[in-house]
Amino acid sequence: MDIQNTISRNVARCGSGSETDAVRKKAMHDMMGISHRKNGAPFFWRMILSAAFIILIVTGCAAGGHTVASDDDRRGSPPVDLVILHTNDTHGHPLKFYYYPAPDVGGLAARATLVAAIRKESQRVLLLDAGDINTGRAESNLFNAVPDIRGFNYIGYDAMAIGNHEFDHAPDILKKQMQQARFPFLSANIRRSDGTPVAQPYLIKDLDGLKVAVFGLTTTETRISANPVNTKDLMFDDEVETARRIVPQLRDKVDIVIALTHLGIYPSNDRGSRRLASQVAGIDVIVDGHSHTKLDAPIVIRRSGDDRDTIIVQAWMWGLVLGRLDLSIQGGRVIDYRFVSLPVNLRRAEKDAAGRLRLHYVGDRIEEDRDLLALLEPYAQKATAALSEVVGTSTKRLSFQEVRSAETALGDLVADALLWHAKPLKADCALVNGGSIRSDIPAGAITKQEIYTTLPFDSTVVLVTVPGKKLQTLFNHIAAIPRGSGGFPQVAGMSFTIDYSTGVCRDIMIGGVPLQPERNYTIVTNSFLSSGGDGYASLKEARDKYDTSLFMRDVVISYIQSNPEVLTIEKARRIKIIGGLSCTALQYAA
């Protein structure tokens, strides 16, 4: 796909004038479902056409977005344009990967092509990442995100916020990563015990006469969510207090102030980037991360008595999309904006006339930058070789054959690993779906590759907090899951009886104590179930979630390496079943 030529041809066909703009606006809104509401509910697929067409409409033929300044502010010098491209929570995905339902999505090489095309057609472009470059796939994890940073260098990132997962490694690893990067890691609210800053607090850039300040903030929740060994000598200052101190200093020096933050987008204004925007004046844009939020439109926060709004954007996760925010700026104020998430080789599945599933690109296919691909592929080759490492030894074969119908020793192992990992985060119990376990662990030496085969999905470990009275709903759902279905549970830290004759779960014990409706429980599970997979709606509806971004398989590997004796385990008798079909009578479907 020649993105630049496509843009040029289509721009030449665009008309001008208010009548043309109105017709164009209606047509594009009809085709794309683009919303210019202040606070749009997240949705993604229906708004995206081709990457080239989106670039065109945002910069040349699109109707204007939400106006945030009065007519008086438009007088004087002509407005100037700024394009902010942004990613967040890329989590160790330097190369294209499988994301249901398609292989070969995302990847830095395709992102490089997209960014280069936008830079060719835009005068002022700022490329930012809102943190969490660490902890993902083997080709990144095994090299402490070196391929990711080299890719960011190649593409030409301007800055990155420090995320909580930048503390997954020892402090010397973070220091090395900052030295390897040809862009600053930003955070204004992290200090060492002696008061010295951990990172550069802000960056000021002059983009062809437009002065832009970018300052970084890291969630104070890092004190809880990160490895305490790696953060014990650090202080995380309140995000709002830090911003109130630094923003006035920056406003005197620049035209536009951008907060590059790893805070998260949540429903209320008392947490995350909404809290920052609601309580701190003078921030024009917040480029956020941490919550892996898909947006169809920016969130716009208007403070009482303040004529400067704050625009909040985020770009999902794993480099699946590239966020693009186009600003029109006049007199140090944003007077207009447009926003879109550009898909990076995403595909959707559709059935043809014969009922067969066919994959179609969401937009056009983006060619990969060959030079960057050549730089990164050796890391994948080395990672494949590294997966031959032996991590433990099993005294017997751990079968997956009954994970969809009964408690199994293999299911216990996986659930135990998640609970072991999440105990420092105060998890009460663990729950995984039997359908996530796809192969036996053989007797004898166990390699990383065999764990990857047993747990092939890129499911991350997620903690959710559920009130006890709502947890009963979850157990009612378990009793309704037919034996043989992928949603059948494998658990740790809990026990219960599934009575298929009555359709209820009873004798529920968590931590050896009967379920207490009045207290809250923290469950460690996987990202599939926490998103409502296999009908676990009560997990999807949980308001307090934390995605560790660690893959289940990697947690299981760490558990086995730390506890060699676990591969001698027997079934722990956590789930008792009354009624229903016997295991031998069941047929299993992948």
Let me know if residue 82 belongs to a domain: yes
Find tokens 């390496």 and name the residue: 561
Give the per-residue pLDDT at 225.
76
Claim to verify: residue 454 and residue 567 sit in the same structural domain = yes
Please check whether residue 142 lies inside any domain of the structure.
yes
Q: Are 290 and 302 in contact (CB under 8 A)?
A: no
Does residue 410 share a domain with residue 270?
A: no
Task: Please provide residue 346's backbone torsions phi and psi, each rounded to the nearest 5 degrees.
Answer: -70, 150
Pick from 379, 410, 439: which residue ends a domain? 379
3-state secondary structure of 300: strand
With contact defined as beta carbons under 8 Å apart, do 20 and 28 qualify?
Answer: no
Residues 356, 396, single domain; the answer is no
The residue from 327, 347, 379 where one domain ends is 379
In 307-356, beta strands by DSSP E: 310-313, 321-330, 333-343, 347-351
Q: Does a structural domain hold residue 298? A: yes
In the structure encoding, which two tokens stand for residue 41, read together?
Answer: 């509910």
| 115 and 153 housed in the same domain | yes
pLDDT for 400 equals 87
How much is the pLDDT for 152?
98
Does 429 share its domain with 363?
Answer: no
Answer whether residue 164 is part of any domain. yes
Q: Based on the domain organization, do 366 and 455 belong to the same domain?
A: no
SS3 label, residue 470: helix
- What is the pLDDT, as a whole number, of residue 464? 96
**Residue 63 within a domain:** no
The whole-number pLDDT of residue 150 equals: 98
Q: Give the pLDDT score at 100.
A: 80
177 shares a domain with 39: yes
Q: Are residues 566 and 435 in the same domain?
A: yes
Rg (CA), the chain: 25
Task: Work out how many domains the chain is built from and give that number.
Answer: 2
Q: Does the reported pTM lie above 0.85?
A: no
What is residue 276's predicted lDDT score, i.e. its pLDDT? 98
- Residue at 226 is within a domain: yes
Q: Are residues 327 and 412 located together in one domain of the fold?
A: no
Whichever domain contains 480, its CATH number is: 3.90.780.10
Q: Is there a single domain that holds both residue 170 and residue 221?
A: yes
| Residue closest to 236 by CA, chosen among 248, 225, 249 | 225
The residue behind tokens 């009963």 is 472
Q: What is the CATH number of the domain that holds 165?
A: 3.60.21.10
pLDDT in tens, 44-68: 333 333 343 333 333 333 333 554 4
Q: Are residues 352 and 482 in the same domain?
A: no
Helix pair angle (370-386, 108-121), 10° resolution: 160
- Residue with structure tokens 């995206």? 48
For residue 235, tell me if it sits in a domain: yes
Range of the domain at 461: 389-585
Give domain status of residue 15, yes or no. no
Q: What is the pLDDT of residue 452?
A: 86
**Boundary (domain end) residue, out of 358, 379, 400:** 379
For 397, the token pair is 């074969």
Place of tokens 């991350």: 460
Query: Are 360 and 393 part of one and the same domain?
Result: no
Low-confidence residues of the chain: pLDDT under 70: 1-76, 580-590
Displacement of CA 567 from its chain's centroid (Å): 32
Adjacent-strand bridge partners of 575: 496
